[in-house]
Amino acid sequence: MYLYASKVAPAVLILAGAVSLGGCATKSYVREQIAPVSQRVDTLETRLQETDGTAKAALAEAQAASGQLQTSGQRLDQLNGRVDSVEQRLQAQESRGKRPRN
């Protein structure tokens, strides 16, 4: 039994040392592995900022167009009222037998 333990103990120590040292990564290795990912993240951040700017500009234009549309709708409502008034006056003159002036 003693002979078996003396052969196994060094093997276990060597295996434990290899496992513990193999799990460590150097700072330079980590930087090398992270550099491409970091570059991609930076590129995506830039594209996201550009897209955000484009979306904000489109929103501002849409809001301006909405305001113009609302103003146009109000003016159209005013004109409808005036047209209705003119139409009523014409009908009143026709019912009295008068012809409208040209």
pTM of this prediction exceeds 0.75: no
Range of the domain at 49: 27-95
Residue 63 lies in a domain: yes
Give the chain's domain count: 1
At residue 17 the predicted structure's pLDDT band, cuts being 50, 70 and 90, is low
Residue 101 lies in a domain: no
Write the DSSP string, 6-19: HHHHHHHHHHHHHH
Residue 59 lies in a domain: yes
45-102 pLDDT, tens digit each: 999 999 999 999 999 999 999 999 999 999 999 999 999 999 999 998 888 876 656 6
Residue 12 lies in a domain: no
At residue 5 the predicted structure's pLDDT band, cuts being 50, 70 and 90, is low
Residue 44 lies in a domain: yes
Residue 5 lies in a domain: no
pLDDT at 11: 73
Write the DSSP string, 20-66: HHHT---HHHHHHHHHHHHHHHHHHHHHHHHHHHHHHHHHHHHHHHH
Does residue 1 register a pLDDT over 60? no
Residue 100 lies in a domain: no
Residue 36 lies in a domain: yes
